[in-house]
Structure 1
Amino acid sequence: MIDDASRPTGPEDFIAALNALYDSCNRPPYRKLAEISEHLGDLYGRRDLPSLSTTGIFDVLAGRRKRAPSSAWVASFVLCCQRRAWETGVRADDPGIASLPPWQARLRAARAASRPAPPAASPVPRTLAPPETEPVRPVRLTESQKATVAGYGPHGRALLARAAAGDADALYRVAVLLGTDPARGGESAPLLIEAAAAGHPGALDLLDASPDGLDAGHAARHAHRLGDRAGRGGTAADRRVALVYYKAAVQGGRLEAAFAITEILQHADEPPGG
């Protein structure tokens, strides 16, 4: 794990950290890393990550590129280094995707440090805007996954459209809805990792809580939280969205969400002005 105190402050420091990882893995040949990158889908269920090239690895580690590498490239590089180190006995185990959230946080810190400081004048008031994230890479859902999410009604179908357009928050919510099904936790993990790589705090939190595979109970906790957040909106549309997440929370074993469902349905049955 990478602790907050040791995070780098800019792209050059981040590249130095990648080199340190590479050194700690006994400097595996670039071609071996490139070969492993072709099989990340089979090894970790990450079919959305780019393959590495020997030239690309050299350019990044040598600091030949002006910008920090993409979050997807970093994920590929870290997974390949760890895998090769485990295969050759340099490391006792392969942490796999559990190591990715702190690396992505480190990358975001490096990017933030490289941005020019905003003008001191005219401070922007705080708002309740959604978390600032990068667009996610295109992620293909299976027909079964799409059917499950669409089964949650208009909100589920809207999430699918937003996720297909690269919305990290929508991808996180899709993962939460799927993850509350104990049989589908493994399907949700790759979706969460992609949302986390784009900087989504909820996805990062859920991954940290479930390093060995998405747990339905943890997903249900997030679903309950999303239901509470939607329910605070006060409109009928907000309550319908809240019902989606409360129902998912119940499926994941958070039975107290059933009381929230009952309250919403009772409110819907009340006569106007009653």
Structure 2
Amino acid sequence: MEEHRVAALCAFIDQLKELRELAGSPSLAELRRLSKKDNSGTSKELTESTTHDILSGKRKKVPDWSWVSSFVTACAIAGDQTGLDARVMGDRSAWHRRWRAAREAQQGPPAMPAASASLPAQRPAADKRPPQLPVFISPPPPLSEEEQRLLEIYGRTGVRLLRRSDPGNSQDCMRLAVIACLKGWPEEARTWLHRAGAAGNQAAVDLLHEPGWKETAADHAFRFGQEHQRADRNRPSTAMFFYRLAGDHGHSGAAFHLGVLHRNKGEDWAAASWLRRAAVDGHSLAAIELNGVSEQLTQTSWEDVERMFEELAQPDPPPAAGDSHPPTAT
């Protein structure tokens, strides 16, 4: 019976985590902010500590419906903001059915009635029904080996860009080359650089023959981040993706811009992390911006700090259901 309860809880929590991934893996702070937009009347604010404990399995019971309702709504809003479809796993009513099934399953199967002489020795055939098991919405099919390979090379955002790219467009090829280069896949990067060069991109030809090409690739990633930020100010996720690539390779401007974007989203610890990197790498305005978030940082516990850095260290999650069949780079 105990195994039955544990399995029911684990299955439900796994689906909550999958929903978050489909929404673009919003941070705990972002989920809390988005939960305040839920006006259903049946939800609650998603505090970072509670959300962390539930998704990490520290809580041993299925969470209350008010929390689940708020989590589902926050993920839906996050998906809308990043262009991802988190609703493939069902609307609020579907999640309520799923939550109720998980809650009932965790209570264990009903007790069998004691044997009695008044009961018939054998039930009629019509009454022989299989036991009712909790019904969960099945997750999307697993990724193929090729899809997993592309995800490892480009990351979730990179795979989405790959799907939208024109192999004959030199700028698209250059973007993919920069991603592959900075993620540590030089042969894949060279494939795209050859294509970009053949399409007339001189920068790709220069990068292809540059010995220490990661520094220059980081400069290109920073420029791509600026282009995406200007093109869609309301959805900075792609810009942040390129800024992170460049910032991870010592580009102070990218680290600075990424810190500012995190600050604008209310993610002060992430902002401080990147602004501190930018300051160390020599950006002149980083220290000023860092002082601007210091007051907010003093109100956050060290436990929240550790969780924030754990989130920053997480690899890119699997792509959304609509991204499950990207083209190959060959």
TM-score interval for Structure 1 and Structure 2 normalised by the shorter chain = 0.3 to 0.5
Q: TM-score, normalised by structure 1?
A: 0.39
Larger radius of gyration: 2
Higher relative contact order (CA 8 A, sep 6+): 2
Q: TM-score, normalised by structure 2?
A: 0.33
